[in-house]
Amino acid sequence: MKLYSGEKSILCIDFIGVIYLNYSSSLLKPVLLVTCKTNSDVLCEHEIGNVLFIRDPDVRVEKTIFTGVLLVYSNLDVNTAYRVASSREYGFVESIIPIQCTLTLPINPTSLRGCLAEITSRGARVKLRVRARGVRGVSSRIYSLVINILRELGVTVESSSSTCLFVEVIESNVYIGMGSCRPVFKASIIDS
């Protein structure tokens, strides 16, 4: 990998020629959480980075401490980044989750209610997916809290919905977003 340093950035060209810009002083925010197929983190990182780089040259893809889980930072708003990223077929990206709210543990119920009120609407039907990584015993408490708040907001939780409300916990950070329940990777011949 070759590194090129500028006043505000480092330009990296990796072993397969992909160019990354790393702006250490920028205020990029996490907009997507991406999961990768097994044993394909590096290729997954390249795929999602290349798709978003066209729209945002400042995009940054970071590995989390968990294998197969990446965070994407961008100047694009969450909806644009999600629309651009999820409109493609991938070989190594498994799922793309928009990050519309970021909270920290322990969750403040008022903050969670505000987040859910902002991204859902009365009468909506969603499938709830809660996943906690790096913290034991949290997912069931969060699931119950989210269910109660959604009920108060008039949102129905049903397993057949094609729209998912994702609540992803990575250590002490809680990432929340609504998006498609379907995986984004390329379907195999058997699936068609």
Convert 74-88 into a string of H (helix), E (strand) and C (coil). ECCCHHHHHHHHHCC
Biggest alpha carbon distance in the chain? 54
- Shared-domain flag, residues 36 and 69: yes
Whichever domain contains 90, its CATH number is: 3.30.70
25 phi and psi, to 5 degrees? -100, 0
Number of folded domains that form the chain: 2
pTM (2 d.p.): 0.82
Is residue 139 a part of any domain in this protein? yes
Residue 28 has a pLDDT of 83
Cα angle: 83, vertex 86, 87; to 5 degrees:
80
- The whole-angstrom separation of Cα 155 and Cα 13 is 46
Cis-peptide, bond into residue 57, ω within 30° of zero: no
Per-10-residue mean pLDDT of the chain, 192 residues long, equals: 36 46 61 96 96 96 96 97 93 96 96 97 97 92 97 97 97 96 65 44
Is residue 186 a part of any domain in this protein? no
